[in-house]
Amino acid sequence: MSTRILRSAMLCVMVTMLTLTGCGKGDAGSGGGAGGGSTPNAGGGGSTGGDKPQIAFVTNQIADFWKIAEAGAKDAEKDLGVHVDVKMPPEASAVKQKQIVEDLISAGINAIAISPLDADNQTDWLNSIAGKVPLITHDSDAPKSNRLMYIGMDNYKAGRLCGELVKQALPDGGNVMLFIGRLEQDNSKYRRQGVIDELLGGARLDRDQAFYKSQSNAWDPVGDPIKGDKYTILGTILDGGAAQVAQQKAEDTINAYKEMNAMVGLFEYNPPACYQALQKADKLGTVKLIGFDENDVTLQAIKDGTCVGTVVQNPYEYGYQSVKWLTEILKNGKGVVPESHYVDIPPRKITKENVDEYWADLKSKKGG
């Protein structure tokens, strides 16, 4: 036990003896202070942070993407003098995510940043959390909830960028299959739709994210093929957020759709799953691969020429900015929240021309 904690405990006992009212609310959970690391886990309370503001950064599952975001959150912890708990559900489960947040609330956390797994069905619950502590969303939004703000990118625009990579790979058109974990999340719906609209073109190119917010029936269905003049979206394969399931479904798709010209993986683990399936089928390069996010397998495939490119977010900034804004809100109140309730962290395309520079920067942020 540190000297500071021992002195605090002794003082607490003295006050208790004098006032018979107890020593108040103590630190929740266990762990290090601002300099200590946080390991992904499924629950438990916040870590001890003394008098520092206690901020939680909650993801939607464990993934390399979120490890980059954790690096940003922990750097903000050091820079801003707060304590940050990074929590990653062991699987993409709204139930697990809820358990983690409820434990954090019980442990006395001061503010929470979360990437909702099922925004529409989590709205009432998110509102209950927002009534207790400052709540913001990152990566995936819950715009119908009482969250204070969203930190992330315009996923519709990101999907359009991904569609541009498909057109680069197949300039004369072709048959495209989309792969994604689930469509309950706000980010996945817009991302998928952006790819489709970019490929089908025409009047769809005038659409934006606001269009789909106002036209609830405009989303393209998942089932039947979606045909345009040059491109056909064969379908959208859902895997529930499981990488092993994603690879098996990619393998099954390669066997079932001999006419498929391109595979587009829209979650971080999807491109590697498609890559492994294509490699197993000896079709790397024959069937074009287009990715999303910055898995090492995806980046290496871009370097090798077996993946056309990927659209990356900036998870490091998701972590850093989430902690920064929650710290500001805790210090100065909700009035500091921007009028738009949105902090835009734009996506960009990574191809063979810029992959080395991007990957080097990514490794430096991850500390490796």
Residue by residue, DSSP assigns 241-294 as: T-HHHHHHHHHHHHHH-TT--EEEE-STTHHHHHHHHHHHTT-BTTBEEEEES-
Query: Contact 193/156 with Cβ under 8 angstroms?
Result: yes
Classify domain 25-153+315-337 at the CATH topology level.
Rossmann fold (3.40.50)
Please report the pLDDT score of residue 51 as a whole number: 84
Please report the pLDDT score of residue 33 as a whole number: 29
Q: Phi and psi at residue 14, in whole multiples of 5°?
A: -60, -45
Query: Contact 246/269 with Cβ under 8 angstroms?
Result: yes
Q: What is the pTM of this model?
A: 0.78
CATH number of 155-312: 3.40.50.2300
Query: Contact 89/62 with Cβ under 8 angstroms?
Result: yes
Would you kindly state where each structural domain of the chain is located, as residue ranges?
25-153+315-337, 155-312
Residue 269 corresponds to which tokens in the numbers above?
């683990």
Q: How many CB atoms lie within 10 A of CB 335?
A: 6
CA dihedral 139, 143, 148, 154 (to 10 degrees): 40
Angle among Cα 119, 60, 199 to the nearest 5 degrees reads 70
DSSP secondary structure letter of residue 228: -
In the predicted model, residues of the chain with pLDDT beneath 70 are 1-50, 368
Please report the pLDDT score of residue 368 as a whole number: 55
Q: How far is residue 181 from each of residues 198, 244, 271, measured CA to CA in Å?
A: 21, 11, 12
